[in-house]
Structure 1
């Protein structure tokens, strides 16, 4: 196997496990002792401090891409994305986060690649996108009929997935290494967070139990904010945005199982139907599976 391909696949697999763990921990945090602002402070403040040396010295960050690409890199993978997810986690269960965020990522990535690069989608990829769309529509209908506020979180998850797709496509245009990209996104996100904190504050940070703060600081700041962003950028750099999004196929399953085990979230028939459509849809939409047409041999 090609070395770049194997490294990309390993990075994509790591990104899937980290992404699922971040979803579970975020849902637990905003429904117990902490809120979105407290988690956002740890999610972007800690890695910004850890990666601060990359902003200075001879090897400091020097972006080569267009300004709009840099803006989309921060908006799509930084503070706006994080606040949408953390706010949505207050209303919708973790399984919804896995299905709507990870499921719609290949869909939005394909739309972005079509608009930006003119890449056509057909064959099995189009079939996969159709499965994803059908699974999420059926799941969304169930959320509306349930009479709960889950649909608010689902909508925020969809917008967050759209932003993350922009982040993936913009990274290739910025001329940054994965570590530089993580420093760039977290650094600017931390700066953007300062005026938001001045207005809203983070009052629960002083009243929450220390074990909860330690869990969130390690998962939000180090595992997700630092390692998760880096390994996903490695996957995009080695595999491309479309193939890297294949890692999203594992996230809905991992998050649903993890939420059932850790937070006693029920695995409903609606969740199973959505997974049965979305997960194969992600695999097909990634372009990893293609038709193999055998050419007829000429007659002797």
Structure 2
């Protein structure tokens, strides 16, 4: 195994584990003392401040990066994506994000690569896409009794997966290093968040226990906003968009198990079966098992 491949695989694994932790932390935050706007402020402002020296060198408009590509990066990897997830967490459990959100990313990534870049979908990849769809259907059927309460969150998770897949496809070829990408995306997300903060405020940051704010600042800002974004961009750079999205195979089950342990969310047979189907489907749909994937 060459060094680039090993580094890419480690980065993908780290991104998956950080992603699961972020989903669980977000669900805990919006169901206890904080709201989506407060979590978004911590998620983007903290890493933006940490990476400010790098941003000064890179600039808000990096040289050679088309404005359209910059907009797609911020839309898919920045504030719009984060708000979709955090708003969805108000209506649906973390396990739903693991399956509908992370599980859909390779599906949309493969379809996007086919439509935009003309990347062929082989027999194995097609089988993987069908397995992902089957897993989503099994999970949807098992959650039918709660659909009246959770459908809004599930829809937002699927939309979040679509824009994240767009970000996955856009970052490669942007010319940015992972750290530059994190600096630019978090800076623009913080700027986009300012009008919301001026209009709505973030009162819960002042009323919530300081321990909750501190833990969320660590989980949202440092872990997810900084390390999670950088490790995923490293995975894209070293493995390619399709193989980097393979990291999503680990997220449904790890999020479901973590949410059951830490948040007391129910862990039914339907969730386990769906997570298994999605994981297998992701492994195939990502193209990582193909010679050219």
TM-score over 0.5 for the pair: yes
- Larger Rg, first or second structure (1 or 2): 1
Q: Cα 1:32–1:184, aligned 2, differ >3 Å: closer, same or farther?
A: same
Question: Any idea what SS the aligned residue of 2:184 has?
Answer: helix
Report matched runs for 1:150-299 at 5 Å: 150-290=150-290
Do structure 1's residue 4 and structure 2's residue 4 form an aligned pair? yes
Closer, same or farther: CA 215–20 of 1 in aligned 2, 3 Å: same
Shift of 1:60: 5.1
Q: Select the structure that is richer in helix.
A: 2
Distance in 1 (alpha carbons) for counterparts of 2:238 and 2:290: 19
Alignment of 1:2-41 (within 5 A): 2-41=2-41
Deviation at 1:272, TM superposition (A): 1.8
How many residues were matched structurally?
290
1:26-62: CA deviations, max 9, x gaps?
A: 00000001000000000001111111111224x6573
1:151-208: CA deviation from partner (whole Å, max 9, x where unpaired): 1111100000110011111111321000000001000000000001111211111000
Tell me, in whole angstroms, the C-alpha distance in 2 between the residues paired with 1:14 and 1:275. 19
After TM superposition, the structure 1 = structure 2 runs for residues 140-155 of structure 1, keeping only pairs within 5 Å, are 140-155=140-155
CA contact (8 A) 1:69 1:173 kept: no
Residues 119/38 of structure 1: CA separation in 2 closer, same or farther (3 Å cut): same
1:294 alignment partner in structure 2: none
Q: CA deviation at 1:147?
A: 4.7
1:47 aligns with 2:43: no
Which digits, 9 at most, give the CA deviation of each residue in 1:2-49, with x for residues without a partner?
Answer: 111011001001001100000010000000010000000000011111
Give the secondary-structure state (helix, strand or coil) at the position aligned to 1:266: coil
- Give the Å deviation of 1:68: 1.4
Distance 1:135 1:196 in 2: 36
- Matches of 1:290 and 1:117 in 2, distance apart? 18
Cα distance in 2 for partners of 1:253, 1:144 equals 19
Cα distance in 1 between the residues matched to 2:63 and 2:224: 23
Calculate the TM-score normalised by the size of structure 2: 0.96
Greater shift in the superposed pair: 242-251 or 130-139: 130-139
Contact 1:63–1:174 (Cα < 8 Å) also in 2: no
Long gaps (5+) in structure 2: none
Structure 1 length normalisation: TM-score?
0.93
Tell whether the 8 Å contact from 2:79 to 2:189 is kept in structure 1 after alignment.
yes
Query: Which segments of 5 or more consecutive residues in structure 1 lack a partner in the other structure?
Result: 292-300
Distance in structure 2 (CA, Å) of the matches to 1:118 and 1:64: 24
Matched with 1:298 is none
